[in-house]
């Protein structure tokens, strides 16, 4: 986790950002560092003197200067009333312009991630949040509303506007021109229709102008609609078009809000995993408490139909569990005493008693909720590009509108040698079309909405993606590497054979102090009482027994310690034992390939992976057997942690790398990988910290499914960006080329492309 965020300025090129990052990474004490060129920030995992060295290096790098420093992940403030993605960008920009404040506005999750250096800075930020358009801070638990209830005011406004607009249009097209009275009635109806649809837009425009903020969508629509009304009245054509512009715009905003709300609600429903209560058994009596009150070791009574409140192990009874909310699988899972069950599942049949393994805050359901809720905080490159693009796009098009409305007709009249109002009227009308089409909503909303949908779709199958950046890396990877134990294989070792009872007893005593999965094979076997145990990574355990050194580990370990022995040939994993420098014996332990692992690897190859590899510290013969069984191309065995890291770096040279491991022992490799995937370790903080993607269950089949969703999401994002820009460019070109090009077509195109982009984004929910 990056525990320091340093804001900088003066970093004017992406390549310079890369060079600065490279320079900072060489500073002693820096565990990891990222220079974000788009956000002009340095994220660093370091402490003490290293932080000051980073700041000094930044200040001495070309024109770069450190502006502010922030610590921690920031305060999350839930908000309501933020109805536009472009407004979210503007609010974020406004907050980041406040002294002592840095903030990220998450439109999809309706929250602000706020870092304030002092209470005064926080107070200023909160003031800006609560005084930004209709935004309010959400103090309580959000109430679920239907689409109609959530947008009731907008629906009523549009209905009222349409009720007055339709008869006004009918009068204008039939008899209004024949009577001054009927014309006045028509104009009055249009006026009411315009105010009913546009009063909120007009009010926000005035409010924002008073703050010196222009170029937002409210200002653009106000100018475009009022301009069309003024031109219509002056030309004697009425102001139907100006009213239609506002009515269509508000209708489009309503439909967009409903679509976005539907997406949010689908994620909310998906994340409805938490149990409201739990029944704990104390001294034979039951007591109902909140899940947050459960302590590790508490015995829980879970009846049929109830959700599992925390991760636990069954101590009595048997049942079937509905796992759909965790892994998307419709088939229930049968469980019995001794089986571990994850929170968020639903007990379908029998009554069971289970012992809590960990507190709620460390349970699977809490980790899932936290990951999904925070998944949009990390912005992908397309999101950052769109935010930057929107910032300059709208002012640039507005400048183009000013040139179109003033300079172009002036030049035309100058060339013609006479002033002609008709020329100015025509080009002002074209400029209004520019203003309408300059709204960046289609771009700003569709990109994060696509990622939000993709992350939510992954979560439905138990694939937890930590952000849109991680989703992009998952989509773009070309090489995949696996750890063996616990990833490709079950990771549940059992003693297969042993050369002597003494070797087994000594090994059992030593392996109790090992964190390696192989040590599980010796659980429950009576072992010798050893002391001073020390685990040596990639080798084994070194301890003392009866005053002599006891070694328990692989063949390489014993050879390095000078023990003479004959290495046994076996496809199983071998644990060698030596006591006092003398060889004692060897134990064979075995593991097996996971069900579905071969199919998962085959599916990944179909998806276009250039290389599949397995990196393991296990013996070559056993590793080769597993690799061949799984259909993996490249097998590197007998690797120490540093050697595994070197092999991963070599694979990265062939293409972006996905590495799937346990998230703990493979942390260095996972950090080096472009996309790190942790297998079935959702209850582990270490696993989540080390990985970009967490698979809730141990099913490797989730990896190709997750990549399929990621690739589909990426395609949808690119479709929305290219499609939106193409439509806007075509409309601008037609507006300039065709005399009298209808303003209403520009409005329909703008609203249409926004709706199409939003609906296209929602297609992520259909990926299977």
- Show the tokens assigned to 414: 């100058």
Nearest alpha-carbon partner for 720 in 389, 254, 372: 389
CB-CB contact of 596 with 614 (8 Å): no
Nearest alpha-carbon partner for 399 in 225, 231, 214, 248: 214
- The separation between the first and the last C-alpha atoms of the chain, rounded to the nearest angstrom, is 32
- Show the tokens assigned to 246: 């506002």
Q: At what angle do helices 240-270 and 743-761 cross, to 10 degrees?
A: 10
Alpha-carbon distances, residue 443 vs 109, 225, 263, 389, 591 (angstroms) = 18, 22, 17, 9, 50
Sign of the CA dihedral 552, 558, 562, 565? positive
3-state secondary structure 662-697: CCCCCHHHHHHCCEEEEECCCCCHHHHHHCCEEECC
Give the catalytic positions in this structure. Answer: 483
Phi (first) and psi of residue 117, to 5 degrees? -75, -20
Tokens 């699988």 belong to 329
CB-CB contact of 589 with 493 (8 Å): yes
CB-CB contact of 717 with 700 (8 Å): no
Residues near 366 by beta carbon (within 8 Å), at least 6 away in sequence: 343, 360
Residues near 519 by beta carbon (within 8 Å), at least 6 away in sequence: 511, 512
Helices (H), 97-142: 119-130
- Tell me if residue 484 falls in helix, strand or coil: helix
β-partners of residue 355 are 299, 313
Q: At what angle do helices 240-270 and 217-235 cross, to 10 degrees?
A: 160
Distance CA 766, CA 471 (A): 17
CB-CB contact of 600 with 700 (8 Å): yes
Distance CA 731, CA 579 (A): 83
Q: At what angle do helices 441-460 and 240-270 cross, to 10 degrees?
A: 20
CB-CB contact of 744 with 248 (8 Å): yes
Distance CA 152, CA 174 (A): 34
- Tell me if residue 656 falls in helix, strand or coil: coil
- Tell me if residue 333 falls in helix, strand or coil: strand
CB-CB contact of 376 with 452 (8 Å): yes
The H or E element containing residue 192 is helix 180-210
- The beta strand positions in 169-276, using DSSP E, are none
Distance CA 441, CA 436 (A): 11
CB-CB contact of 287 with 301 (8 Å): no
CB-CB contact of 508 with 641 (8 Å): no
CB-CB contact of 538 with 617 (8 Å): yes
Residues near 225 by beta carbon (within 8 Å), at least 6 away in sequence: 194, 198, 242, 243, 245, 246, 249
Nearest alpha-carbon partner for 158 in 117, 127, 200: 200
DSSP state of 319: E
Sign of the CA dihedral 145, 147, 152, 154? positive
């Amino acid at each position: 986790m990056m525990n320091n965020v340093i804001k900088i300025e003066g970093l004017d090129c992406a390549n310079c950002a890369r060079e600065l990052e490279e320079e900072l990474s060489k500073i002693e004490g820096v565990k990891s560092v990222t220079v974000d060129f788009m956000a002009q920030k340095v994220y660093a995992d370091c402490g003490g003197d290293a932080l000051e060295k980073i700041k000094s290096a930044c200040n001495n790098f070309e024109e770069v200067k450190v502006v502010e420093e922030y610590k921690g992940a920031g305060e999350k403030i839930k908000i309501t009333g933020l109805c536009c993605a472009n407004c979210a960008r503007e609010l974020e920009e406004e907050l980041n312009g406040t002294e002592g404040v840095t903030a990220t506005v998450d439109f999809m999750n309706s929250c602000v991630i706020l870092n304030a250096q002092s209470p005064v800075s926080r107070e200023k930020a909160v003031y800006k949040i609560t005084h930004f358009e209709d935004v309010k801070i959400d103090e309580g638990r959000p109430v679920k509303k239907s689409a109609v209830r959530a947008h009731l005011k907008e629906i009523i406004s549009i209905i009222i506007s349409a009720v007055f607009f339709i008869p006004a249009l009918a009068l204008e097209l039939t008899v209004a021109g024949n009577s001054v009275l009927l014309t006045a009635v028509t104009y009055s109806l249009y006026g009411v229709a315009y105010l009913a649809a546009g009063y909120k837009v007009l009010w926000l425009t005035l409010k924002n102008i008073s703050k010196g903020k222009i170029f937002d969508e409210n200002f653009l629509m106000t100018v475009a609609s009022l301009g069309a009304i003024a031109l219509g009245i002056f030309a004697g054509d009425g102001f139907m078009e100006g009213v239609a512009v506002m009515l269509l715009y508000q209708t489009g905003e309503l439909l967009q809000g409903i679509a976005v709300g539907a997406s949010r609600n689908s994620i909310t429903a998906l994340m409805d995993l938490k149990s409201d209560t739990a029944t704990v058994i104390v001294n034979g009596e039951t007591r109902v408490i909140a899940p947050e009150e459960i302590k590790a070791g508490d015995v829980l009574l879970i009846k049929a139909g109830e959700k599992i409140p925390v991760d636990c192990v069954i101590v009595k009874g048997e049942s079937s569990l509905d796992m759909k909310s965790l892994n998307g699988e419709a088939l229930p899972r049968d469980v019995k005493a001794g089986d571990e069950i994850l929170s968020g599942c639903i007990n379908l049949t029998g009554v069971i008693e289970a012992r809590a393994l960990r507190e709620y805050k460390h349970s699977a359901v809490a980790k899932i909720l936290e990951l999904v809720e925070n998944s949009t905080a990390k912005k992908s490159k397309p999101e950052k590009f769109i935010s930057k693009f929107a910032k300059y796009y709208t002012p640039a098009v507005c400048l183009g509108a000013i040139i179109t409305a003033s300079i172009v007709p002036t030049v035309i009249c100058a060339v013609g040698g006479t002033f002609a109002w008709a020329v100015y009227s025509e080009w002002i009308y074209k400029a209004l079309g520019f203003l309408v089409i300059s709204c960046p909503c289609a771009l700003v909303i569709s990109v994060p909405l696509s990622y939000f949908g993709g992350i939510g779709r992954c979560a439905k199958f138990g694939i937890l993606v930590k952000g849109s950046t991680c989703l992009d890396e998952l989509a773009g990877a070309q090489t995949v590497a696996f750890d063996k134990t616990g990833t490709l294989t079950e990771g549940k070792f059992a003693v297969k054979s042993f050369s002597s009872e003494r070797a087994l007893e000594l090994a059992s005593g030593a392996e109790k102090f090992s964190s390696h999965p192989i040590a599980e094979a010796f659980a429950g076997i009576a072992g010798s009482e050893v002391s001073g145990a020390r685990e040596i990574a990639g080798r084994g355990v070194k301890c003392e027994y009866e005053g002599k050194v006891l070694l328990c580990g692989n063949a390489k370990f014993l050879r390095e310690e000078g023990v003479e022995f004959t290495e046994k040939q076996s496809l199983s994993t071998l644990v060698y034992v030596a006591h006092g420098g003398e060889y004692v014996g060897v134990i064979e332990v075995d593991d097996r390939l996971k069900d579905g692992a071969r199919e998962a690897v085959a599916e990944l190859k179909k998806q276009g992976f250039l290389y599949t590899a397995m990196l393991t510290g296990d013996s070559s013969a056993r590793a080769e057997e597993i690799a061949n069984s799984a259909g993996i191309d490249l097998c590197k065995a007998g690797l120490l942690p540093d050697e595994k890291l070197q092999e991963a770096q070599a694979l990265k040279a062939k293409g972006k790398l996905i590495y799937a491991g346990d998230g703990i022992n493979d942390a260095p490799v996972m950090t080096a990988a472009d996309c790190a995937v942790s297998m079935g370790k959702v209850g582990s903080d270490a696993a989540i910290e080390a990985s970009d993607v967490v698979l809730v269950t141990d099913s490797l089949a989730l990896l190709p499914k997750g990549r399929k969703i990621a690739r589909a999401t990426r395609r949808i994002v690119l479709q929305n960006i290219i499609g939106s820009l193409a439509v806007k460019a075509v409309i601008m070109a037609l507006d300039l080329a065709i005399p009298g090009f209808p303003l209403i077509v520009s409005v329909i195109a703008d609203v249409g492309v926004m709706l199409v982009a939003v609906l296209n984004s929602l297609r992520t929910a259909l990926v299977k």
